Amino acid sequence: MNTVIIMADTFRRDHIAAYGVPAPWSRPGHENEPFIDTPNLDRLASQSALFDRFYLSSYPTVPCRSDLFTGTFGFPHRGWQPLEPDDVILSELAAANGYVPAFIFDTPMLVADSYNYSRGFAAWDFIRGQHSDRWDVDPVVMPMPAPARKLKSVPATQRYLRNTRFRQSENDWMCAKTVTRAIDWLDGNKTRDSFLLWIDMWDPHEPFDAPDADLARYADPSFSGGQNIYPSYGRAEYMTKAERNHVRALYAALATVTDRWIGHLLDALTSFGLDGNTMVVFLSDHGHLFGDHGLQGKPTGPLGKLYEVTTRCPLMIRHPGGAGAGLRSDAIAQHPDVTATILDALGIEAPASMQGQSLLPVMRGESSELRPFAVSGRFSRLIDTGAKTSLARQEAAEFDGAAGIATPGEPLTITTERWAYCCPARGNEADELYDLDNDPAQQHNVAADHPEVVAALRSTLVTFLRETGAPEARVAVYERAQPAGPALMADETPLFVIDNGPAPWLAWLSEAEAASRIDGDIAGTAVERTTFGALRTGQDAVLIHIHDQFYAPGDLL
């Protein structure tokens, strides 16, 4: 039997029509139209076991791939990093058991700077030009698609625009190029009955850049603002309501493009005669916030709480023998379980190091449950390194899995059939508990009403961390309520403020940085010097930009 794994990064579960999730927001100008158009994933879902309670384990991109390649939970003890030399990984296990593993991907960080996620594959093909891939360095200045103050990274946006400046048709979009390369590989290997093909596409991750025709299906026809394809993270109010709606439309358009190219891949499997001997696994690593809970993107630090919209991911498995076809399962599962399922389906014994559990018994109807709970988290180097100096904190902030400011760790989330508990790592932050039976959108924190549930879930979380190898320093952060620490920003800290039109004013730590974010739409504005204390006690709405995301003053107390 063959296996094809399709990883689509940042694909929200509520943006796949087959899941039937209520629309999280309306689309101005398209109120009477379907919220999302994903006919190809819907088709795959009808032929597959659809997992409705599939939760991320390690967050975000690279830590998730580590969990999938190793079949283990990484976030208790490792973060955004290369594979370890002694990791036992899926590609090597497949090769050792007579399968030909191949890896076709455009996710740039999987091989950048010796991250070695291509390890063990008999063949691998990296499609260049996605996101921040260091590829086109021609001295060409591309016009910014949106005001610089609202972009997460001006240099990364510039790099992406240079990388894609020669596009002529939809065939030049990144997911199109990756799927086309995968179809070519399948064409050359269609006579095999023993390959494992991993297709890893960055889309629909930002930059949220889709063809005009797809964008028109979702965008408000009256919108006339910028194309913020790479919105800054953190508090979402730096954008106007119309701008936030447009970012949502940009994402939906790219999700539909991704779906269309997955459809081309599925059609190729059929035309090559591979449907009868090839298992297809479709999944994503995590969601993305688009104003949900007042947040944008994948914020870190005290804003890094992992809600359902981020943790609950799509997973479909189409077995060539028909196991689970048409099943919609409520079994709680996580990313290491996908690895265990693939090994089980291929008849490969899982090594003792793997912590995943096979989903095949659920697919065969032999069981309806897998795990009693899921734990989702991001690793913080601040705990691991004991970072105390400003330099150490800066190094930790540059590490994608770190708390962005001097906090002892990121909030972790434990989810059961009924409850989702966001466990904080410092006393300044409140416990958050949500009753998913009665509040699936997580609008009402009921932690104060159920202290016994909070205590039990915290205890379960701590036990899980110990069992999955977390160092004691990390366990201690979550084992008991932490004392309140000092404010994350001192009142005397100088800040530099610029006008932001109708949205809240914006502040930076340096005058030069603030000045560099002044665009033509607010020409003539001046940088004003103030302090955190003055902003904190003032009446004017303002957001503070530190460590690549926007905070409200109250977040930094």
pLDDT digits (tens, 9 = 90+) for 453-503: 999 999 999 999 999 999 888 898 898 767 777 788 999 999 999 999 889
Rounded-to-integer distance, Cα 13 and Cα 18, Å? 9
What confidence tier does 128 reach under pLDDT thresholds 50, 70, 90? very high
Is it true that the peptide bond before 143 is cis, omega within 30 degrees of 0?
Answer: no
Above 90 in pLDDT, residue 540? no
Q: What percent of the chain has pLDDT over 70?
A: 94
Which of 252, 258, 228 is closest to 240 using CA atoms?
A: 228
From the CB of residue 42, how many other CB atoms can be counted at a distance below 10 Å?
16
Average pLDDT over residues 535-539: 85
Average pLDDT over residues 356-373: 97
Classified by CATH at the fold level, domain 2-143+151-363 comes out as: Alkaline Phosphatase, subunit A (3.40.720)
Q: What is the DSSP letter of 548?
A: T
> Pick the residue with more confidence: 371 or 401?
371
- The 10s digit of each residue's pLDDT in 204-221 is 999 999 999 999 999 999
Above 60 in pLDDT, residue 395? no
Above 80 in pLDDT, residue 74? yes
Above 80 in pLDDT, residue 160? yes
Q: Say if CB 148 and CB 154 are below 8 A apart.
A: yes
Rounded-to-integer distance, Cα 275 and Cα 87, Å? 32
Average pLDDT over residues 224-251: 96
What confidence tier does 404 reach under pLDDT thresholds 50, 70, 90? low
Q: What are phi and psi of 231, to 5 degrees?
A: -65, 145
Average pLDDT over residues 111-135: 93
> Pick the residue with more confidence: 485 or 279?
279
Which of 300, 225, 227, 218 is closest to 23 using CA atoms?
A: 218
pLDDT value for 375: 98
Reported residue count of the chain is: 557
Q: Say if CB 534 and CB 553 are below 8 A apart.
A: no
> Pick the residue with more confidence: 432 or 547?
432
- The 10s digit of each residue's pLDDT in 417-462 is 999 999 998 777 899 999 999 999 999 999 999 999 999 999 999 9
Above 80 in pLDDT, residue 394? no
Say whether 290 sits in a helix, a strand or coil.
strand
What confidence tier does 382 reach under pLDDT thresholds 50, 70, 90? low
Q: Say if CB 299 and CB 307 are below 8 A apart.
A: no
Residue 492, both tokens = 């005397």
Q: What's the mean per-residue pLDDT of the chain?
A: 92
Above 70 in pLDDT, residue 392? no
Average pLDDT over residues 183-193: 97
Above 90 in pLDDT, residue 347? yes
What are the residue ranges spanned by the domains of the chain? 2-143+151-363, 494-556
Q: Which element (helix H / strand E) includes 493?
A: none
User: How buried is 194 (Cβ within 10 angstroms: 0-12 exposed, 13-18 middle, 19+ buried)?
Assistant: middle
pLDDT value for 401: 44
Highest mean pLDDT among 295-309, 370-384, 388-402: 295-309
Above 60 in pLDDT, residue 400? no
